[in-house]
Amino acid sequence: MTLSGVKLQRGAVPMYQQLASELALRIERGALKAGDKLPTHRALAAQLGVTVGTVTRAYAEAERRGLVEARVGAGTYVSDPDQPAWSFADSDKHESTLGYNIPPEVNRADALQRALEELSRHKPSINQLMLYQSPDGLAQHRETLAAWLARHGVTLDAQRLLFTSGAQHGVQLALQIVCRPGDTVLCERLTYPGLLSLARQQQLQVKPVELDDQGMVPQALAFACRQYRPRLVYLTPTLQNPTTVTMGDKRRGQILEVCRHHRVLLVEDDVHGLLTSERPPPLVNMDAEQVLHVGGLGKALAPGLRLGYMQVPRALHSAFVGGIQNHSWMISPLLTALASILIKQGSADAILHEIRAQMVQRWQCAKELLPGARLRCHPEGFHGWLELPELLPLSEFLMAARSRGLDVKSAELFSPPGYPAPAAIRIAVSAPSNLAALRVALGQLQEILGESPPQDAFTL
């Protein structure tokens, strides 16, 4: 298109500013509409009798005002005021079927808007939040989080609580600060793949300890402690990943007793703990000096906040503060402020309640569509552990799943290096964007499973 009738004059106002103002006026009057492509720099310069540099500066000024947007390789276009400067294309939306252990989609936008409005009312506080803060986080934010966790059964000391960039960051800090290359870490026979990846990066040896329907077996742990002299024991006592097992009170006490006897610290990954409305007290409640407790708000509130937390024994607190400082100096105080406001406004509880309700509904759907599957799950958890039929080898199942575009996680991902994987998969019914997508994925899964075992094999 052309811009007819534009007249620029030499004077006190630079011509590039005159041109930018003319663009603003035409957009306001509707002569230029959202999506209209503007002339190239060279073409408009020739039309107006000015230098290409003048047009370039004018377009840059218009873009600074939010009037236009430059698209690499495509030109300059009038912006749509109803669209944000950033957006997600359809291709950016990741439909992960049954693969990724992510929260179901719930509306967080309204809660975040209220939190941002609350934050924006206190400009001096915003200015402070935009500055460097202590690596151990702001005391008020730690106190808010500790009080909220206490209402959900997790007793942490606000003075010792530390923020992290997600729960996995907490696990990484534990391995880096407590262990040295060549040390041994014990974990459950099937464990979180992130732990295996972090251990590999740290050049640590990972040795598995047997599991039963209560979690890690105390006698097997004691034997492994005598055999390997580990630096750390890592486990997920609530909604274990991938098996969904939750330890009972007695088993938790037995595990702690073994760790005390062998003087080995225990990393409690409680990233799924907040999902359950009822669960045994976390290990950190039972012995805060034996346990490095790691948790996060990604599963229970919003993964995009990328906010986790941890509490370590008193003797290690200063070392972990130094570790956070070495990693990133601090965890963003702006994010911890938003999380605190979401908690105080009640939005965190509302979102968690909605997530739990959705999961109950999704597992009911799974129960209907996989009536005979040998599947273990928790009605409020994200994932389930599916044992394959005896006549269906894991390799053949995975090939069939790939051919259908069905994403699941093989037991191989959860087995420490050098140890065989059982014929099982983890499915995350939280991952599909809605119930319709979940039904499609479960239908594909049922096709592959074929003939089902007896219907009483489904365990909630």
Exposure on the CB side of residue 200, measured as CA atoms within 13 A: 7
Q: Are 424 and 394 in contact (CB under 8 A)?
A: yes
Percentage of the chain modeled with pLDDT above 90 = 74
Question: Where in the chain do CATH 1.10.10.10 domains reside?
Answer: 15-78
Choosing among 3.40.50.720, 3.10.290.10, 3.40.640.10, 3.30.360.10, the CATH entry for 109-346 is 3.40.640.10
Q: What is the pLDDT of residues 202-230, one digit of tens each?
A: 999 999 999 999 999 999 999 999 999 99
- In the block, which residue shows the tokens 């391995």? 175
Backbone angles phi, psi at 459, to 5 degrees: -120, 120
How distant, in Å, are the alpha carbons of 67, 82, 86 from that of 71?
Answer: 13, 18, 13
**Average pLDDT rounded to a whole number, residues 50-64:** 90
How high is the pLDDT of residue 454?
A: 44
**Beta carbons within 10 angstroms of residue 455's beta carbon:** 11
**CATH 2.30.110.10 fits domain 15-78:** no
How high is the pLDDT of residue 92?
A: 44
How high is the pLDDT of residue 125?
A: 84
Tell me: pLDDT of 73 over 90. Answer: no
> What residues have CB less than 8 Å from 13, skipping those under 6 apart?
none
* Range of lowest pLDDT (167-176, 282-291, 395-404): 395-404
Q: What is the pLDDT of residues 140-162, one digit of tens each?
A: 999 999 999 999 999 999 999 99
**Average pLDDT rounded to a whole number, residues 185-189:** 98
Q: How far apart are CA 109 and CA 414, in angstroms?
A: 34
Q: Would you say the C-alpha torsion 437, 439, 442, 446 has a positive or negative sign? A: negative
Question: Where in the chain do CATH 3.40.640.10 domains reside?
Answer: 109-346
Q: What is the pLDDT of residues 402-422, one digit of tens each?
A: 988 899 999 999 999 999 999
> Is 311 in a helix, a strand, or coil?
strand
Q: What is the pLDDT of residues 363-404, one digit of tens each?
A: 999 999 998 889 999 999 999 999 999 889 999 999 999 988
Tokens of 131: 């500055």
Percentage of the chain modeled with pLDDT above 70 = 94
DSSP annotation of 459? B
- For 348-457, give the CATH class: alpha beta
Tokens of 286: 């039972």
How high is the pLDDT of residue 457?
A: 56
How high is the pLDDT of residue 88?
A: 56
| DSSP state string for 31-63 | SS-TTPBPPPHHHHHHHHT--HHHHHHHHHHHH
- Which residues make beta-bridge pairs with 163? 309
Q: How far apart are CA 438 and CA 198, in angstroms?
A: 31
Tell me: pLDDT of 89 over 70. Answer: no
Q: What is the pLDDT of residues 340-363, one digit of tens each?
A: 999 999 999 999 999 999 999 999
Q: How far apart are CA 135 and CA 336, in angstroms?
A: 12
Tell me: pLDDT of 94 over 80. Answer: no
Burial letters 389-401, b for 16+ CB under 10 A, else e: beeeebeebbebb
Tell me: pLDDT of 1 over 90. Answer: no
> What residues have CB less than 8 Å from 339, skipping those under 6 apart?
141, 145, 297, 301, 305, 307, 348
Question: Where in the chain do CATH 3.90.1150.10 domains reside?
Answer: 348-457
**Average pLDDT rounded to a whole number, residues 311-331:** 96
Tell me: pLDDT of 96 over 60. Answer: no
Backbone angles phi, psi at 309, to 5 degrees: -155, 160
> Is 288 in a helix, a strand, or coil?
coil
Tokens of 364: 């009911």
How high is the pLDDT of residue 371?
A: 86
**Beta carbons within 10 angstroms of residue 439's beta carbon:** 16
Tokens of 134: 């202590």
Confidence band for 455, pLDDT divided at 50, 70 and 90: very low
> What is the residue-averaged pLDDT of the chain?
91
